[in-house]
Amino acid sequence: MADHHSERQSAIDAHGIIGDMRSAALVNDRGSVDFFCWPEFDSPSIFCSLLDTPDAGIFQLTPDLPDARREQIYLPDTNVLQTRWLSDRAVVEVTDLLPIGDSEDDLPVLMRRVRVVSGQATFHMRCAVRHDYARASTRAQMDEQDVVFKATGQPPLRLSSDQAMSLDADAAVAQFTLEQDQSAQFLLGGVDDPRFKKGATDMCMERTLKFWRDWSSQSNYRGRWREMVNRSALALKLLTSRKHGAILAAATFGLPETPGGGRNWDYRYTWIRDASFTVYAFMRLGFVEEANAYMGWLRGRVSDCRGKPMKLNILYAVDGRQELPETELSHLAGHGGATPVRIGNQAYDQVQLDIFGELMDAVYLVNKYGDAISHKGWKHTVEVVDQVCESWQQKDVGIWEMRGEQHHFLHSRLMCWVALDRAIRLASKRSLPAPFARWDETRQAIYADIWQNFWNEERGHFVQHIGSTALDGSMLLMPLVRFVSAKDPRWLSTLRAIEKTLVRDGMVYRYRNEDAGIDGLEGTEGAFAACSFWYVECLARAGQVEKAHLEFEQLLRYANSLGLYAEEFDSRGRHLGNTPQALTHLALISAASFLDRKLSGEKSYWQP
């Protein structure tokens, strides 16, 4: 048996993701599941070797073909992943999925099927469940042919297979040889899951393939980047909660934004900003159901069970929990030694005024293309917009959740303007009662404030916050939310300044850290992938279509082999941060949609 400690950590971009809209797992290109939280997205991990060694939990399933070429693909139009080995001796494939169950309450099951396509191969399997982020002492025991994993106070798991298994250091192990066209399968899930019955796996596989293909086929995107757009849509769908309608920022925690650094956050939660932008992407592709479901989830955040309005937080757990205190997992070595590894996210108690704009933009779009707002929903909307009228002049931490000082940030002002603008438009379109005079007066006041206080005549560009001369990647949203014309001379001057200061070979940084340690954190970070796609859209809207096209094609090459993106890029275009990142994929969808229309000479029929 191969040494189970020998597997080194995989790069962030050497992973595919599988999921069932309740949880998600990462599978690396060596056939190991090295990240899996169970049974919910934000439950403690059972496999966490991505952030440590195999001792933190791993499910290895590998052929003995050391010289093989390895590839990963998704079965077309699905989130069913296949890892393949090609060598002179054999061609082997491992198919991984979390089957879509009958009910939203079905516990996730990890289904792994290995098949020899050609030749003959010997396989090594090692499944080491390590409960509670590898903090609990997990015991493995045989239960007839199965292996059951138990830890005090943790849900037990069962591993079932058609191959003989044994125990080694509280892990299930197996070694077996398969000839051409022979296959083996492994199922890991709840100890009493009915899907362990003989013959259930074929049906689970067929139903799951059908589910994803039926869903994909609803996309109305017919442009030249169909494969990348559909993959992005499938990644976003994977990050939605089937039960609650909430949308996650990313599937992982603790993956570093700086190699070996301390910028390691937990993104397994729902940010109002990211989720509202995701609604925009879903609506753009014709996925109205997801947008309506998210709005349903959001209604539960803005009012309590008696219908009384509540303070809107910037992020929540998928089930609506508001408090997500940060804990450091000091026993984990971190990805590439990047520590501390954090779970929870203290940003939940920050003030970020921009969320009102993203929220109202989503409410406006869902009303335009999805379900019309209810009487009660409009009452809550009025309360939210009135809150913006009261608070828009306050300082906050801005879109990037700065952990330094609070400031008057341009992006926060901009999105307060968006909140009022979309509310006024919505009320006018639907003939809804609203304090139009007060709202319009505030909208005009914010507009004037931005042009007076955030435009630096000497520098010839907008600034990140009052009292600063710094630039910020979030400025790229100014023409995208229709605050300023994409061809306005002052905006074009700002765009040129951003290109000079924040853009490196099409990759856009959120801000420069040397700008007085603006974010209150040590070290630097990578280029921000979402900003890079916003930049492409800004170029296209400014009429620089050829340049936008080239930059977009370059960014597409920075995806991993499966078309997935994390949060950031390093200087070589490799992935940094949590993955897959919803904000990156929705920005790709937006850029691809607009650029495709420009290249095709079409007029836009889809107007936010």
Q: Which residues contact 379 (CB under 8 A, 6 or more apart)?
A: none
CA distance 192 to 157: 9
CA distance 581 to 239: 9
Residue range 277-295: mean pLDDT, rounded: 93
Summarised one tens digit per residue, pLDDT across range 9-53 is: 999 999 999 999 999 999 999 999 999 999 999 999 999 999 999
pLDDT score at 302: 78
pLDDT score at 519: 52
Nearest to 250 by CA among 258, 240, 241, 239: 239
Residue range 483-495: mean pLDDT, rounded: 98
- In angstroms, how far is the first alpha carbon of the chain from the final one? 58
Residue 203: count of CB within 10 angstroms of its CB:
11
Share of the chain above pLDDT 90, in %: 84
Residue 588 has pLDDT above 70, yes or no: yes
Residue range 562-571: mean pLDDT, rounded: 97
pLDDT band for 307, please (50, 70, 90 cuts). Answer: low
Distances, alpha carbon 177 to alpha carbons 33, 108, 124, 186, in Å? 21, 28, 9, 15
Gyration radius (Cα) of the chain, Å: 25
**What's the distance, CA 580 to chain centroid?**
5
pLDDT band for 1, please (50, 70, 90 cuts). Answer: very low
Residue 126 has pLDDT above 80, yes or no: yes
Residue 531: count of CB within 10 angstroms of its CB:
26
pLDDT score at 518: 52
24-28/110-128 β-pairing: unpaired
Structure tokens at 407: 């400031």
Residue range 476-502: mean pLDDT, rounded: 97
Residue 288 has pLDDT above 70, yes or no: yes
CA distance 408 to 470: 13
Average pLDDT, the chain: 93
Summarised one tens digit per residue, pLDDT across range 82-118 is: 999 999 999 999 999 999 988 999 999 999 999 999 9
Nearest to 410 by CA among 459, 363, 461: 461
CA distance 445 to 456: 19
CA distance 128 to 123: 16
Structure tokens at 529: 């992938």
Three-class SS of 429-445: HHCCCCCHHHHHHHHHH
CA distance 290 to 278: 9
pLDDT score at 561: 97
CA torsion through residues 156, 159, 164, 168, sign: negative
Query: Which contiguous run of DSSP H or E holds residue 167?
Result: strand 166-168
Structure tokens at 129: 């469940």
CA distance 92 to 297: 43
pLDDT score at 405: 85
**Which of 208-217, 364-373, 483-492 is the least confident region?**
364-373
Summarised one tens digit per residue, pLDDT across range 500-528 is: 999 999 999 998 855 434 555 555 678 99
Nearest to 169 by CA among 144, 143, 149: 149
CA distance 490 to 290: 37
Q: Do 83 and 71 touch, CB atoms closer than 8 A? A: yes
CA distance 266 to 294: 21
Structure tokens at 586: 């929705």
Nearest to 135 by CA among 114, 153, 156: 153
**What's the distance, CA 481 to chain centroid?**
22
DSSP codes of every residue in 235-279: HHHHTB-TTT--B-SBS-B---SSTTSS---B--SEEHHHHHHHH
Any idea of the CA torsion for 517, 519, 524, 529, to the nearest 10 degrees? -140
What's the topology of domain 15-194? Beta-galactosidase; Chain A, domain 5 (2.70.98)
In the chain, where are the structural domains located? Answer: 15-194, 231-600
pLDDT score at 516: 39
- Read off the DSSP letter of residue 68: -
CA distance 500 to 492: 12
- Which residues on adjacent β-strands are paired with residue 340? none
Residue 603 has pLDDT above 80, yes or no: no
Nearest to 42 by CA among 236, 234, 252, 189: 252
The pTM score is: 0.95
Helix axes 288-302, 375-391, angle to 10 degrees: 70
CA torsion through residues 444, 450, 453, 458, sign: negative
Summarised one tens digit per residue, pLDDT across range 450-484 is: 999 999 999 999 999 999 999 999 999 999 999 99
Nearest to 548 by CA among 497, 455, 476, 472: 476
Share of the chain above pLDDT 70, in %: 94
pLDDT band for 2, please (50, 70, 90 cuts). Answer: very low
pLDDT score at 201: 87
- Which residues on adjacent β-strands are paired with residue 16? 27
Structure tokens at 197: 């019955």
Structure tokens at 50: 């991505």
Just give the CATH number of 231-600: 1.50.10.10
Residue 440 has pLDDT above 80, yes or no: yes
Distances, alpha carbon 220 to alpha carbons 26, 233, 286, in Å? 29, 11, 6
Summarised one tens digit per residue, pLDDT across range 333-361 is: 999 999 999 999 998 888 889 999 999 99
DSSP codes of every residue in 201-231: HHHHHHHHHHHHHHHHTT----STTHHHHHH
CA torsion through residues 314, 401, 529, 74, sign: negative
